[in-house]
Structure 1
Amino acid sequence: MTEKRTWALNGFIGLLLEVVLFALGLYFLSEGSLIGVLFLLLVAVGISGFFIVQPNEAKVLIFFGQYLGSVRRSGFWWGTPFTIRKKVSLRVRNFNSSKLKVNDVEGNPIEIAAVVVFRVVDSAKALFDVDNYETFVEIQSETALRHIASSYPYDTFEDINASSLRGNADEVAAELARELQQRLQVAGVEVLEARLTHLAYATEIAGAMLQRQQAAAIIAARQKIVEGAVGMVQMAVNKLKEDGVIDLDEERKAAMVNNLMVAIVSEREAHPVINTGTIY
């Protein structure tokens, strides 16, 4: 089923025609002619053809079980009599999913929710191809969200370049929007945007995962500190050697490197010990 435009006349012109037919009917009846009855019957039938279309709304016209077409232009209209006219909103709407509990690609239970911005672009598909397009949008949105959540890990600890739900929010949102568009196309719905509104570990593993994140952050920070400390010590030893400030043998050089590394890497403030010599 595909939306098509149907015939509709300006309602005020139709109202004027109805008045003319009514006046002719009364005139012929006063003259004793049965044609007046025919005109009055046409007026009675024509009255059922008037309808109003609100802004950002479509009226779908059904004539004895047959789809005649849709009227999208807002205003007062006069169309085919005895038609059933069903309203379909064309406004932009939001759907906020509930918090879903799913397992990510690594099997960790997480809580996730999203907001979907959509609108109807084909009133015929929305009305005839699915039972209830609003319920269809809700179910398909939650289904797509579950599928996306199970395709990514919540977070990456070993491979920092891998995609994750927490680290690649824009990429995940774009993929969610694409999958939703494929699912909702049959209902004549266009997905304008899809965004995650809630993302967290499930309560039963939240504490353990928080400790894991903290440990990973500490390890990463330590790696940076060690790399910087090695560079600083190497630069200091090379500078002393180039300037000829002091000539150290391998044993004393190792001791100095050890002291510098301890002073730089240690979390506490270093307290130097001054060697004043021996009494012998």
Structure 2
Amino acid sequence: MREKDMFRINGFLGVLLFLLIGAAVVFSFRQFTLTESPVSFVLAVIGVVVLFLLLSGFTVIQPNQAKVFTLFGRYLGVIKHEGFWLTIPLTIRKTVSLRVINFNSDKLKVNDLEGNPIEIAAVVVYKVFDSAKAVFDVENYKTFVHTQSETGLRHIASQYPYDNVNNDYEVSLRQHSDEVGDELTKDLQKRLELAGVEIIEARIMHLAYSSEIAHAMLQRQQAKAVLAARKVIVEGAVSMVKSAIDQLKDEGIVELDEEKKAQMVNNLMVAIVSDKGSQPVINTGSIY
């Protein structure tokens, strides 16, 4: 089922036609009362019927709104142009909003690519581009959008890991939200085209580990951060020790054999890398 334009004329022309027919009805009734002519009576009755039919044909279309028309179960067409119109009488009209709509999905509990339980939710922005499909091809297009959005979100969440800890994957849910959002948009568009819906944007708005593993994953992240910090500290400490030994050697302050160099390196590394403040030990030399 696809959109097609519905027959219509300007509503104000319809009002003018209504007034002309109304005047003709009044004239016919007047002639009937004067002459008791059956022809005048029949014309007056027909005119009254036509007036009621015309009244049922008037419709108003608001901005960003469409009305789908059916007559005795047959699809006639759609009016999407805003304004006051006169169309085919006795039709049934269903109104469809063409405005942009957004909704926040519920928080879903799914397993990511690595099998970790996570909580995820998304915001979906969409609008109807084919009102005939939205009315006739699905039972309720808004319910259909919500259901298919959750299905698509579950599918996309299971295709990627929550976090790329060991750089084993090119895309992760936490680090590549834009790429994941683009894939979610494409997936939802395929699912919702049947309902005449265009997906404008779909983005992840909530992402977290599920409560039963959140503490363990937090510890893993903390351990990773500590290791990264330690690596930076050790690299800095090695550079500082090397610089100190080279400066002592270049300026001839003291001659150090390999054993003393090793002892000095050990003491400096402990002093720099240690979390706790180190206590200096002053070597005063031998008494004897």
TM-score, normalising length: structure 1: 0.93
Change (3 A) 1:217 1:199: same
2:133 alignment partner AA: K
Match of 2:21 in 1: 21
Match of 1:69 in 2: 77
**Equivalences for 1:230-269 in 2 at 5 Å?**
230-269=238-277
CA RMSD, aligned part only?
A: 1.8
User: 1:186 and 2:191 equivalent?
Assistant: no
1:233 alignment partner AA: V
**Equivalences for 1:163-202 in 2 at 5 Å?**
163-202=171-210
Deviations 1:193-228 (A, max 9, x none): 222222221121122111111111111111121122
Match of 2:43 in 1: 35
Alignment size in residue pairs: 280
**Equivalences for 1:42-53 in 2 at 5 Å?**
42-53=50-61
> Unaligned 5+ residue runs, structure 1?
none
SS at match of 1:48: helix
2:25 alignment partner AA: G
**Equivalent residue in structure 1 for 2:94, among 60, 83, 86:** 86
Identity of aligned residues (%): 59
CA distance in 2, matches of 1:161, 1:265: 33
Runs of 4+ in 1 over 4 A off after TM superposition: none
> Unaligned 5+ residue runs, structure 2?
32-36
Deviations 1:105-142 (A, max 9, x none): 11111111112111111111111122211111011100
Deviations 1:164-203 (A, max 9, x none): 2222222222221221122112211122222222222112
TM-score, normalising length: structure 2: 0.90
CA distance in 1, matches of 2:90, 2:73: 11
SS at match of 2:147: helix
**Equivalent residue in structure 2 for 1:99, among 76, 99, 107:** 107
1:144 alignment partner AA: G
1:7 alignment partner AA: F
1:54 positional shift: 2.2
1:162 positional shift: 4.0
1:75 positional shift: 2.5
Question: Which shows bigger deviation, 153-162 or 140-149?
Answer: 153-162
Match of 1:113 in 2: 121
Match of 1:277 in 2: 285
CA distance in 1, matches of 2:235, 2:193: 53
